[in-house]
Structure 1
């Protein structure tokens, strides 16, 4: 009997192994990249899918202007409070929807009423107060951040270096992959202290003739304008044709680059966020860039906007309204939703020369770049979505592919050739790897 059981167990184990066997992908290096590497046009670590931005520091003129802007305040106190604000912003969750709050309130009331005997109006008021108290303890109490003068200064100190580095990194990818793109106009929704403006001017100052900045906080707008004046009032601006407004323009005008950085999260519900996204998309002529915190909450807001715009394509199948330019190499459902892990990336930046720690720091972010019109560029290279693991004679890359899947490939020179292996080994989180992945059950990697 024992022998039979052992045989059955072995058979079951063999069957399980066969049924769970995953197809192994065939990996081939991009033909053009192969030719350029063969002809030594560049080295594998400099392949066209890499992002070599390195540690990004604010432009010297902005650093000088920022320090002058806070000269009448206690920098030590501002720095301390800015760190508190930054931690708070990173720790926030998405605002609960009204129907979710109503549903939760009803559940609490139904459960509580079984324990309380309501005989008069006074007891009913106590019952309602108890329900509201329990509701507040069980539902996330989201509140918008009101940026007065002091809070705006805190944001300037605590958030501008990392936000500038992130937006500049995204703009650099657009410029690298679309070198003929010379934007003439720039629109920033929730422009804050102007970090997106600084990044746009860093790359396209010679071509952009109009900057349109919108932020509901008048204090934020005043501070952003003061930075452009070098931190001193009544001086000439560093950039011309910069317009500051507190509300979206009513005129039907399109801009080449439209940016929403850390702004959608300040809206109270899904409807208001999607209305804002649609408004921004209608004002976009080429690229719409949306950035949020690299947390799960920030990723959900990004994915919500991404799916909403792509859904417009499904409604009008006669033409492609737009597509995902970055970071996704596809327009399908994000595979990160299945493993409940945020799709995020990291940027290295140099903090302001204040405070205690002046060493380079890192910031996590989630983003999407949507481009108007049909796909007309090479967007099939997989994106590395986690740090590359370099081991002895092999490198492990986890990538989001053109098929809308998350694949892990173990590269080695013996199995993939020296160019593919060296490109993979020198690539890191956020880079695109210039390869094609074809699923084939009979292949070996």
Structure 2
């Protein structure tokens, strides 16, 4: 019975998820493959599974040189205990919520106090009480209010990293972060092969995973790496890793600089990264000021990354709306490079169903203990590019894993007109080339197709629109 109940709950969740996508029986949009892709496959330039929207990062491992340096950094500490604490820290970091604004906290405290007072005073006759009894009632209200506040209001506070906690972070989170950033950088390199970054700045650089990933993709062209982190211990550990675990050794990269604060100057950088750091900023005002500062420093790509939770996605969406409004009001050239194929309201936010727009990266954990297996990391991100958009920028993006079935495949995508669209591909209806391209596409890939929605039935469930 427990198994049957679990299956029923799984089916219910799946059908609730599908309601946000175009239902194939009601919607029959015309779908055609991009001519360039069609021609490339027909002429044998590449196979359908290698179409131009595919990302081929696969399962990512931290470079052996970095792993050896990490082992040396931990040689004076009990490795087993560090690994266990790293797992706990990783779970805590991934479960963090967005800090509430001061007004929100004050309003919630007042509401909770009113609720407690009504609950307590509704059970007694206040008019028949003397002053001493009223005092005891008020004390009970105050005591219960404090308990309710602790239970219902998220107590955000910044994380302070000392030397030992920085090592926990290194062991618990570096492999996942490296795989996510490597995947994002790979997409930029694949879609913009002419881009040769000269400088890289990482705000909230932590143990240096952004630098590792940037060097892995563009080591030949990047001349300067700037790492900014408020924790001196994090900066020291990041530098120690790049020195192979020995401060007496030379850096493995050229021109690496460490800072504790983001400068106010608008020195331009080819790549500006802020990964897994927005949660550490205490208010919306400070977050947006920081994002504006980072955008002003950008001369190529601005990359913002957070955990793939609803809270992480909400921070990415906040930044997305802010930067789109800034670009529109200033008249400056700039656009969303990925993952969104449009500049309209995010359809995920429009639905308000609590489902984040996130993606998945597969990685091998650090090989520091026996029996480690490949793992997966969920993340939400946005990449802005200063420059004119290309056609590929508007290709539909797969926002969930392709469902591969017998003689058909189901792709769930976000399209250039700001819709969530589900399409069932078959060889008979769409042709063998398009069918094979769709079947080979994975979560996070783009699909080089054109969708004609003229024939779509105007039903909110069908179009993915919410009134």
Note the residue ranges of structure 1 that are not aligned, 5 or more in a row. 1-19
Residues 245-256 of structure 1: pairs in structure 2 closer than 5 A:
245-256=259-270
For the residue of structure 1 that corresponds to 2:97, the secondary structure is: coil
Per-residue deviation, residues 381-437 of structure 1 (Å, max 9, x unmatched): 101111111111111000000011000010001000011000001111111011111
**Structure 1 contact 97–269 (Cα < 8 Å) conserved:** yes
Q: Give the Å deviation of 1:336.
A: 1.1
Match of 1:422 in 2: 436
**Which residue among 176, 179, 189 is the counterpart of 2:190?**
176
The answer on 1:260 being equivalent to 2:283 is no
**Which residue among 288, 307, 317 is the counterpart of 2:302?**
288
Residues 8-19 of structure 1: pairs in structure 2 closer than 5 A:
none
Shift of the 287–159 alpha-carbon distance from structure 1 to 2, 3 Å rule, reads same
Shift of the 159–21 alpha-carbon distance from structure 1 to 2, 3 Å rule, reads closer
- The whole-number CA distance in structure 2 between the counterparts of 1:435 and 1:131 is 57
- The whole-number CA distance in structure 2 between the counterparts of 1:263 and 1:271 is 15
Q: TM-score, normalised by structure 1?
A: 0.91
Per-residue deviation, residues 147-191 of structure 1 (Å, max 9, x unmatched): 111110000001111111110110010011111000000000000
Greater CA drift, 240-249 or 267-276: 267-276
Per-residue deviation, residues 278-314 of structure 1 (Å, max 9, x unmatched): 1111111110001110111111111111111001133
- The whole-number CA distance in structure 1 between the counterparts of 2:32 and 2:108 is 52
**Structure 2 contact 264–293 (Cα < 8 Å) conserved:** no
Match of 1:329 in 2: 341
Match of 1:16 in 2: none
The answer on 1:278 being equivalent to 2:285 is no
**Structure 1 contact 152–223 (Cα < 8 Å) conserved:** yes
Number of aligned positions between the proteins: 422
The answer on 1:52 being equivalent to 2:70 is no
For the residue of structure 2 that corresponds to 1:200, the secondary structure is: helix
- The whole-number CA distance in structure 1 between the counterparts of 2:456 and 2:446 is 26
The answer on 1:95 being equivalent to 2:95 is no
Note the residue ranges of structure 2 that are not aligned, 5 or more in a row. 1-23, 458-467
Q: Give the Å deviation of 1:131.
A: 2.6
**Which residue among 360, 375, 387 is the counterpart of 2:401?**
387
Shift of the 437–320 alpha-carbon distance from structure 1 to 2, 3 Å rule, reads farther
For the residue of structure 2 that corresponds to 1:307, the secondary structure is: helix
**Structure 1 contact 345–366 (Cα < 8 Å) conserved:** yes
**Structure 1 contact 24–440 (Cα < 8 Å) conserved:** no
Match of 1:402 in 2: 416
**Structure 2 contact 392–448 (Cα < 8 Å) conserved:** no
RMSD: 1.9
Greater CA drift, 356-365 or 60-69: 356-365
